[in-house]
Amino acid sequence: STAAFSEPMAASMGASDFTVTCAAPCVSPTGSVALNAASLIATYTLAAGTNLKAGTLYTATVTGAKSLATGLALASPYIWQFTTGVTVRVTRPSVTVTVPVTTSPGPTTGVPTNTAITAVFSTSMDPVTIDASSFTLTCAAPCVSPTGTVSYTVGSNTAVFLPTAALTAGSTYTATITTAATDLAGNALGGNPALLPAASNYVWTFTTAAAIPVSHVSVLSTNPTPNAVGICPGAAVNATFSVPAGLRMNPATINSANFTMTGPASTPVTAASVVLDAATGTIATFTPKASLVAGTTYTATLAGGVSGVADLAIPADTMLNNFKWNFTVSSCAVVPPPISLGSASAFGDFGGSAGTTNQGTLTIINGNMGTTAVSTAVTGFHDTGVGCIYTETTLNKGFVNGLIYTAAPPPTVACPNEGTAVTGAAAAQALLDAQTAYLALVAMAPVGANPGSNLAGLTLAPGVYPAPAGSFLIQGGNLTLDAQGNANAVWVFQMASTLTVGGPGVASPSSIILKNGAQAANVFWQVGSAATINAGGGGTMVGTIIARSGVTISTAGNVGIVTLDGRALSLGASVTMVNTVINVP
């Protein structure tokens, strides 16, 4: 567990200040607490060789922690709860976004000399492992490798190397994040090229050009808008920034000190989180810890000035003055909430009671795989376990960057820890949780206008969209999902029958484009029968697909990779795929 603070904390913070507990008969764990280099993030690490109990509610409490500058303790304990899943995490983290952008073979050209170096990770990292030794920036002589500071921001999963001074124009630099960087489960980085299942460094190169002119950060838009009324009590509050071209906001400045809310009057609103959108680097979201109160006017404030919000220029561009706006909350129609997947959230692929088949050598599942069937129902895969091979051939080898959960027997004698009663029970629980999520999706009332049966070419706001004739198509174009600046926005698509993405014709893949802070984790496809995704190969699908009668991704012989940023979960029939990459959000 991690806790991020609005200012540096005293080094005396220890296990008595940050606790994790559970109710009897569960035994509360023991562990240690460490601050990151900036003293802004505390990480609770379990004692060596121990794990939390599966399927158990835990309470984390931070109390007594003191400010490094003033010595003042937290005004009151900060408490939150979480429930553990039924699987262990062995999926290696990856780098999903870099600034400057990663090109192959590189270097990326035209990079401004006065910009910081940024990397966004696929999951929450251990902040203690992100430092000047694991994130470096170098250049060859006569260029002098720069010095700088390295920071990591919880929530946005973003690491930043901020050079002490502007880089040298016309020089080629190499940025490296090493395998010393690990996620919160201790899994080392899977870099580029990914040498899975082994860990590897992530390396990218770029060449510098002219500096970006000095400017100022400003607020481009807010959600809710200024003086808005009728805002739902469960709403999050967002602001989208205008920054110089190619730059992002500094995630370390998007915090509960620089983004505040009050209401009624000057009463502070406690934040559950204040984070910067990782995809764009320009959208800040304040999520209240408790629902807002109907009939109350709230004031949101973004701090300007030298200690306020800033971008990643060198030196940083700041906002001249504070930015304030008001909005009024009232009772309203229920907006789509995030859907809990329970233990199924850890699975990129779940083949119901029938298993999963892969064809091709380019398939990678960045997450777990499961089925309630026996291990022989999974073919064409191996995972991170030693000797855990599921009927692979020379032409059909897919990699699961995680574990495969099936009923007995084990897939091979060299893999005794899979295909057991334990993995079978975990798969059974994941199926139950997926079924529960499916029924919750079915029960949701429509929100938003009827989009028609073919979603291609549309731009849709968050909502719950039932298929008017029972089936949805995305054929002849792409679908854009516009969060309108709300990083917590949710889309639910309900189908009594089928989902077909791509076509007409096998050579016409379709994709889903996320816009203005939309998150793959908040897109759901409830499919009453079967889903077919880009039968001709290629394209990018987004969201969690839960289908009653199977999911088919691409078809035999296709070499164009289909990417699914989400999950393919079947409740009954099998999942089949050809050269597919699945990234669990």
Helices (H) and strands (E) in the chain, counts: 1, 45
Task: Give me the phi and psi of 376, to 5 degrees please.
Answer: -70, -10
Domain range 95-208, CATH architecture: Sandwich (2.60)
C-alpha pair distances (Å), 60 with each of 3, 26, 182, 335 = 9, 15, 22, 29
Residues 326 and 299: beta-carbon distance below 8 Å = yes
On whether the CB atoms of residues 347 and 584 are closer than 8 A, the answer is: yes
The confidence score (pLDDT) of residue 268 equals: 95
pLDDT tens over the chain, length 585 residues: 899 988 899 998 988 999 999 999 999 999 999 999 889 999 999 998 899 998 899 999 999 899 999 999 998 899 999 999 888 899 999 999 999 999 999 999 999 999 999 999 999 999 999 999 999 999 999 999 999 999 999 989 999 999 999 999 999 999 999 999 999 999 999 999 878 889 999 999 999 999 999 899 999 999 999 999 989 898 889 999 999 877 899 999 999 999 999 999 999 999 999 999 988 999 999 999 999 999 999 999 999 999 999 999 999 999 999 999 999 999 876 667 779 999 999 999 999 999 999 999 999 999 999 999 999 999 999 999 999 999 999 999 999 999 999 999 999 999 999 999 999 999 999 999 999 999 999 999 999 899 999 999 999 999 999 999 999 999 999 999 999 888 889 999 999 999 999 977 666 899 999 998 899 999 999 999 999 999 999 999 999 999 999 999 999 999 999 999 999 999 999 999 999 999 999
Q: What pLDDT does residue 335 have?
A: 67
Q: What pLDDT score was predicted for residue 196? A: 85
Instruction: For residue 398, give the 3-state DSSP assignment.
Output: strand
Nearest to 398 by CA among 371, 358, 354, 367: 358
Q: Is 117 helix (H, G, I), strand (E, B) or coil?
A: strand
Reduce the DSSP state of residue 213 to 3 states and report it.
coil
pLDDT in tens, 450-468: 999 999 999 999 999 999 9
Closest C-alpha among 21, 137, 157 to residue 80? 21
Reference 257, options 235, 236, 286; nearest CA is 286
Positions of CATH 2.60.40.1220 in the chain: 2-83, 95-208, 218-329
Residue 125 phi, psi (nearest 5): -100, 160
CATH architecture entry for 218-329 = Sandwich (2.60)
Q: Determine the pLDDT at residue 524.
A: 99
| Cβ(276)–Cβ(313) below 8 Å | no
pLDDT at 505: 66
Q: What is the dihedral of CA 423, 427, 430, 434, to 10 degrees?
A: 170
Distance CA 551, CA 369 (A): 14
CA separation, residue 466 to residues 370, 439, 512, 524 (Å): 28, 14, 18, 12
Q: Are 574 and 554 in contact (CB under 8 A)?
A: no
Max CA distance (Å), the chain: 68
Class of domain 2-83: mainly beta
What is the pLDDT, as a whole number, of residue 506?
61
Query: What count of other Cβ atoms lies within 10 Å of the Cβ of residue 259?
Result: 26
Q: Are 90 and 199 in contact (CB under 8 A)?
A: no
